[in-house]
Structure 1
Amino acid sequence: MSYADYAPAGGSYPLRIKGAGAVGTITITGMASHEDHALAFEAIEKAATDSLDVDISSLFPA
């Protein structure tokens, strides 16, 4: 990759499910890189700590 075309920046996190591996990403853009990164982290942290009564097993067939 050329640094003229691409730049490393914060704001993306991989989404992994135990037993399934990587299933996607969350990406935030539009603010300063460190703010994008912090918002993505806060969103994942909130989702991980909230009690969700959702069965997502049907999304990942065996």
Structure 2
Amino acid sequence: MTKELLNELMNALVDGTLFGICFSFWIMILVAVWRWFLGVVKRFLHWLCPKWFKPKTEEIDKN
């Protein structure tokens, strides 16, 4: 193995690691933003039409 081949291999490993770290952070941020956005939409729909989203009530027997 020549020095050039080792150098290219090390560069590829570093590039792949940095890409993986950045990609995973990007995915986590994307998921967080979508969860926040869907929560805002859900709260807006609850505010807009509250009769559609009545909470389920369970009848409790009082014995």
Query: Normalising TM by the smaller chain, what interval?
Result: 0.3 to 0.5
Q: TM-score, normalised by structure 1?
A: 0.33
Work out which of the two has the higher radius of gyration on C-alpha atoms and give 1 or 2. 2
More helix by share: 2
Higher relative contact order (CA 8 A, sep 6+): 1
More strand by share: 1
Q: TM-score, normalised by structure 2?
A: 0.32
